[in-house]
């Protein structure tokens, strides 16, 4: 079992390259993510569907230049940016509204 995110991304890259070929595959990935999001809407408690979105996102990440070693750094940087942003009070939002930072 893979226990390290960098090893996971490297292993996924090897599998995905062999199974789905080279290239960015942007449109195909986006369309596949949309299908998975429909499945999540149908059953939000199906954790496998959430995992499918994560896997597809990671596929897009490396296909567009991301490296296994850089993944956690970029995620941590994004979290820090989000922590510095102003956010609306979530209590004023409905369940169906996206909560985006104040621009």
91 within domain boundaries: no
Q: Give me the domain span that covers residue 35.
A: 5-69
53 within domain boundaries: yes
d(CA 5, CA 79): 17
The reported pLDDT for the residue numbered 3 is: 79
83 within domain boundaries: no
88 within domain boundaries: no
75 within domain boundaries: no
How many domains are contained in the chain?
A: 1
* Count of H-run helices and E-run strands, the chain: 4, 0
The reported pLDDT for the residue numbered 16 is: 97
28 within domain boundaries: yes
Per-residue confidence in pLDDT tens, the chain, 103 aa = 777 999 999 999 999 999 999 999 999 999 999 999 999 999 999 999 999 999 999 999 999 999 998 999 999 999 999 999 999 999 999 999 999 999 9
Query: Other CB atoms closer than 10 Å to residue 59's CB: what's the count?
Result: 22
């Amino acid at each position: 079992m893979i226990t390290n995110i960098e090893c996971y991304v490297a292993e996924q890259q090897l599998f995905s390259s062999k199974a789905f070929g080279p290239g960015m595959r942007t449109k195909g990935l986006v369309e596949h993510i949309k299908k998975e999001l429909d499945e999540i809407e149908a059953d939000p408690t199906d954790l496998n569907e959430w995992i499918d979105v994560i896997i597809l996102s990671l596929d897009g990440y490396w296909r567009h230049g991301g490296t296994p070693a850089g993944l956690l750094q970029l995620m941590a940087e994004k979290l820090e940016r989000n922590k510095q942003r102003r956010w609306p009070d979530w209590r004023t939002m409905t369940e169906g509204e996206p909560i985006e930072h104040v621009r």
